[in-house]
Chains A and B, each alone.
Chain A
Amino acid sequence: MPLEPGLIGFAGLTSLALAMKKHRPGLNPRVALPPLAARGLGWALLGLAAAAAVWRFGAGMGVAAWLGQLSVAGAVLILLISWRPRLAPPLALAALACAPVLAWI
Chain B
Amino acid sequence: MNGAPITPAATGLRQTMAWIHAWLGLLAGWILFAMFLTGTASYFRPEITQWMQPELRPAVVPPAQAADAAVRHLQKTSPDDLQWFIYLPDERTSATRVFARAKPDPDAKAPPKRRPEFKLDPATGERLEARDTRGGEHFYRFHFQLQIPHPWGRWLAGVCAMFMLTAIISGVITHKRIFADFFTLRWGKGQRSWLDAHKASAVLALPFHAMITYTGLITLVVMYMPWPIKANFDKPDAFNAAAYGAPPEGKASGRPAPLRPVGPMIEAAAKTWGGDSPRTVIVRNPNDAAATVTVLRSTAGRLSAGAQSITFSGATGERLFQSPHAGPAVSTAGVMLGLHLGHFAGPTLRWTYFLLGLTGTAMVGTGLVLWAVKRRKPGTAPFFGLRLVDRLNVGTIACLPVGMAAYLLANRLIPADMAGRAELEVKAMFWVWFGLAALACLRPMRRAWIETLSLAAIAFAVLPVVNAATTNRGLIASLRTGDTLFAGFDIAFLVTATLCGFAAWRAGRPQRAPVKRQRRAAQAPDAAIAREPAEDVHAA
Residues of A within 8 A of B (CB): 1-3, 6, 13, 16-17, 20, 22-23, 57, 60-61, 64-65, 67-69, 71-72, 74-75, 77-79, 81-82
Contacts and interface: CB of A to CB of B under 8 A. Distances in A.
Given A68-B208, A69-B352, A72-B356, A61 B185 contact: no
B348 A77 contact: no
Contact of A64 (B184, B187, B339, B355): B339
Contacts of B344: 61
Contacts of A6: 352
Contacts of A2: 346, 348-349
22 contacts: A6-B352, A20-B180, A22-B184, A57-B349, A60-B335, A61-B303, A64-B303, A65-B349, A67-B208, A68-B349, A69-B352, A71-B205, A71-B207, A71-B356, A72-B356, A72-B359, A74-B204, A74-B205, A75-B201, A78-B183, A78-B185, A82-B187
B355 A75 contact: yes
A20 B344 CA distance: 37
Interface residues of B, number: 27
B176 interface: no
A77 B208 contact: no
A78 B207 CA distance: 17
Contacts of B353: 68
Which 4 residue pairs spanning A and B have beta carbons closest together?
A: A82-B185, A71-B205, A74-B204, A68-B352
A71 B359 contact: yes
Contacts of B375: none
B352 A75 contact: no
B500 to A, nearest CB: 17
Classify the secondary structure of B's interface with A: helix
B349 A78 contact: no
Given A67-B208, A78-B183, A78-B185, A60 B303 contact: yes
Highest count of chain A CB atoms <10 Å: which of B184, B185, B204, B352: B352
A72 B355 contact: yes
A92 to B, nearest CB: 13
Interface of B: 180, 182-187, 200-201, 204-208, 303, 335, 339, 344, 346-349, 352-353, 355-356, 359
A43 to B, nearest CB: 13
Nearest to A85: B183
Contacts, number: 72
Given A64-B339, A72-B356, A17 B208 contact: no
Contacts of B348: 1-3
Contacts of B182: 16-17, 20, 74
Contacts of A22: 180, 183-184
A75 B205 contact: yes
Contacts of A77: 183
Given A61-B349, A68-B207, 19 more contacts: A1-B348, A2-B349, A22-B184, A61-B344, A64-B303, A65-B352, A68-B353, A69-B352, A72-B205, A72-B352, A72-B356, A74-B182, A74-B204, A75-B204, A75-B355, A75-B359, A79-B185, A81-B183, A82-B187
A69 B266 CA distance: 35
